[in-house]
């Protein structure tokens, strides 16, 4: 069931998408932490683990990933967030959420945030189907590929607000099977 984006705001998508992605990463990749950072405010956990804190001088309320997080190298303990440092981080995650159909500019925005955080997982999510012209462009010139370590931007369709699920049809492929 598709989301009526005339009724739901982009901001209302952040929490259910965050929780679903956290569960997926936890299940498929490892211990995961995600927070909503769309307002340009990063809590001390993210600030403590980012290896190059100069990036925060480029991020603000107008330009920040909607969700930011990481996957740790080891299992969590009850106080794992308080003791986190950059040495504990296996991979970073950035997520850009759009309530409208994905555009070329959205892909470049997701690439920007992925590159700033050196995020292995740069995700771009929308409740609208991935436009065919974006699929064709990716087939012809691999628009989802990033320069950093030949990583990609993963585009997913958020299709059910009630069930909190993403379709299994990601572009260019499922991020959890790399």
Structure-token pair, residue 160:
């059910």
End-to-end CA distance of the chain: 28
Q: pTM for the full model?
A: 0.87
Structure-token pair, residue 13:
């998508």
pLDDT digits (tens, 9 = 90+) for 80-123: 555 555 567 788 999 999 999 999 999 999 999 999 999 999 99
pLDDT at 175: 87
pLDDT digits (tens, 9 = 90+) for 19-44: 989 988 988 888 899 999 999 999 88
pLDDT at 29: 85
Structure-token pair, residue 28:
């498929």
Chain-centroid distance of CA 42 in Å reads: 15
Does the domain at residues 10-177 carry the CATH identifier 3.90.1570?
A: no
Q: From edge to edge, which strands make up the β-sheet containing 165-166?
A: 32-36, 67-72, 89-97, 121-126, 153-160, 165-166
pLDDT digits (tens, 9 = 90+) for 132-168: 999 999 999 999 988 767 788 999 887 666 665 666 6
Residue ranges of the domains in the chain?
10-177
Structure-token pair, residue 88:
């504990």
């Amino acid at each position: 069931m598709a989301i009526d984006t005339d009724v739901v705001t982009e901001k209302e998508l952040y929490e259910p998408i965050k929780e679903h992605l956290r569960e997926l990463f936890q299940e498929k990749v490892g211990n995961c932490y995600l927070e909503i950072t769309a307002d340009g405010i990063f809590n001390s956990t993210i600030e403590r683990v980012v290896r190059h804190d100069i990036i925060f001088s480029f991020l603000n309320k107008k330009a920040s990933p909607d969700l930011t997080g990481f996957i740790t190298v080891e299992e969590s303990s009850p106080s794992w967030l308080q003791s986190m440092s950059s040495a504990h981080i296996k991979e970073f995650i950035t997520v850009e959420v759009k309530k409208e159909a994905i555009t070329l500019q959205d892909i470049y925005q997701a690439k920007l945030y992925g590159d700033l955080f050196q995020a292995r997982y740069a995700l771009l999510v929308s409740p609208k189907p991935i436009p065919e012209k974006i699929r064709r462009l990716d087939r012809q010139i691999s628009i989802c590929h990033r320069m950093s370590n030949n990583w990609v931007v993963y585009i997913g369709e958020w299709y059910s607000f009630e069930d909190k699920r993403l379709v299994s049809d990601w572009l260019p492929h499922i991020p959890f099977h790399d």
